[in-house]
Amino acid sequence: MAEVLLFHHALGLTEGVGAFAGELRRAGHTVHTPDLYEGRTFTDLEAGVGYAQEIGFGALVARGERAAAELPEEIVYAGFSLGAVPAQKLAQTRAGALGALLFSACLPVTEFGAAWPAGVPAQVHGMDADPFFVEEGDLAAARALVADATDRRLFLYPGSSHLFAERGGSSYVPEAAALCVERAVCFLDGVKS
């Protein structure tokens, strides 16, 4: 089974993130969920993003790197929205990465290097009409990431919710979230250490 480092979104380490991690654990995987906000959570995305800006995105990524430093190198990095930033950076730059699961976000690979590392599989999950994912360039970055790759996949779900897998949240989409979990579990089941 795989070991996963799962980073939360701009709302913080919410019960919804915990529920998603719980689904992966029930499938037999080890999941670490560091709290990059040090106990703060938000119910409003704008307030959460404001708090992230106050801390500084660089500081949040550094917190993610510190969390990773305490774990084995052979790990899968995962992140929701804002949490996809440290997840993607670590998957691209930390030796031994076994894969990446990026939910509702994807940056151009050039943010963290010239190319995606060979042999590091990835999945990107997002909604096809999510304005954050589509209009802010994440969808284009995801398409570029998976182009001509056999070990990287983009999964689009119908709808406009950004945090569609956030159980209990206002944008939760149960059917899409269940399929997302199923696909993530299949990905983790196939990870080779």
pLDDT tens for residues 37-87?
999 999 999 999 999 999 999 999 999 999 999 999 999 999 999 999 999
Mean pLDDT over each residue of the chain, to the nearest integer: 96
Write the CA distances from 108 to 86, 95, 105, 143, 146, integer angstroms.
Answer: 13, 20, 10, 10, 11
Q: Is residue 113 predicted with pLDDT exceeding 90?
A: no
Mean pLDDT confidence for 132-158: 97
Mean pLDDT confidence for 155-165: 98
What's the pLDDT at 108? 97
Q: Is residue 119 predicted with pLDDT exceeding 80?
A: yes
Mean pLDDT confidence for 122-139: 98
What's the pLDDT at 8? 98
Q: Which domains are delineated in the chain?
A: 3-190 (3.40.50.1820)
For the question of whether the overall pTM of this predicted structure is more than 0.75, the answer is: yes
Mean pLDDT confidence for 144-162: 97
Q: How far apart are alpha carbons 104 and 64 in whole angstroms?
A: 18
What would the two tokens of residue 26 be? 């029930």
CA 167 to chain centroid: 15
pLDDT confidence tier of residue 26, bands split at 50, 70 and 90: very high
Classify residue 114 as exposed, middle or buried by CB count within 10 Å of its CB (0-12, 13-18, 19+).
Answer: exposed
